[in-house]
Amino acid sequence: MVWPDLARLGPFFALRTGAGSGLRPLGNLTVDDTPLRARVAATHAQLSAGDPDLSERVAASAVQLGLTARLVSPALAGAVLAARVPDLSADRVRWSESDTWAAPFTVSDLRVREVADVDDTVQALLGLVLHGSVSTLVRATLAVVGVAEHILWGNVASALAGAGTVIGSVRPELSEDCRRIVSALVATPLLAGTGGYDPRQFRRTTCCLFYLVPGGGLCHDCVLAPPQSGQA
Beta partners for residue 130, in sequence order: none
Count of residues making up the chain: 232
Query: pTM value?
Result: 0.93
What was the pLDDT predicted at 1? Answer: 44
With helix as H, strand as E and coil as C, how does 122-190 read?
HHHHHHHHHHHHHHHHHHHHHHHCCCCHHHHHHHHHHHHHHHHHHHHHHCHHHHHHHHHHHHHHCCCCC
Is residue 230's pLDDT more than 70? no
Beta partners for residue 195, in sequence order: 204
What was the pLDDT predicted at 232? Answer: 37
What was the pLDDT predicted at 103? Answer: 60
pLDDT band at 199 (very low <50, low <70, confident <90, very high): confident
What was the pLDDT predicted at 191? Answer: 98
- Mean pLDDT confidence for 130-151: 95
| Dihedral over Cα of 15, 17, 23, 27: its sign | positive
- Mean pLDDT confidence for 15-35: 84
pLDDT, tens digit, 9 for 90 and up, residues 86-104: 999 999 998 876 655 556 7
Beta partners for residue 114, in sequence order: 84
pLDDT band at 109 (very low <50, low <70, confident <90, very high): confident
- Mean pLDDT confidence for 105-112: 88
- CA–centroid distance for 196 within its chain: 16
DSSP code string of the chain: -B-TTTGGG-GGG--EES--SSEEEGGGGGT--HHHHHHHHHHHHHHGGG-TT--HHHHHHHHHHHHHHHHHHHHHHHHHHHSEEE---TTTEEEETT--SS--EEESS--EEE--SHHHHHHHHIIIIIIIIIHHHHHHHHHHS---HHHHHHHHHHHHHHHHHHHHHH-GGGHHHHHHHHHHHTTSTTTTTSEEESSSSEEESS--SGGGSTT----TT-TTSPTT----
Beta partners for residue 197, in sequence order: 202
Instruction: Decide: 194 and 153 in contact? Cβ < 8 Å.
Output: yes
Is residue 193's pLDDT more than 80? yes
Closest to 85 (Cα-Cα) out of 136, 129, 25, 26: 129
- Mean pLDDT confidence for 141-145: 94
What was the pLDDT predicted at 101? Answer: 54
More confident residue, 34 or 232: 34
- Single-letter amino acid code for the residue at 214: P
Mean pLDDT in the chain? 89
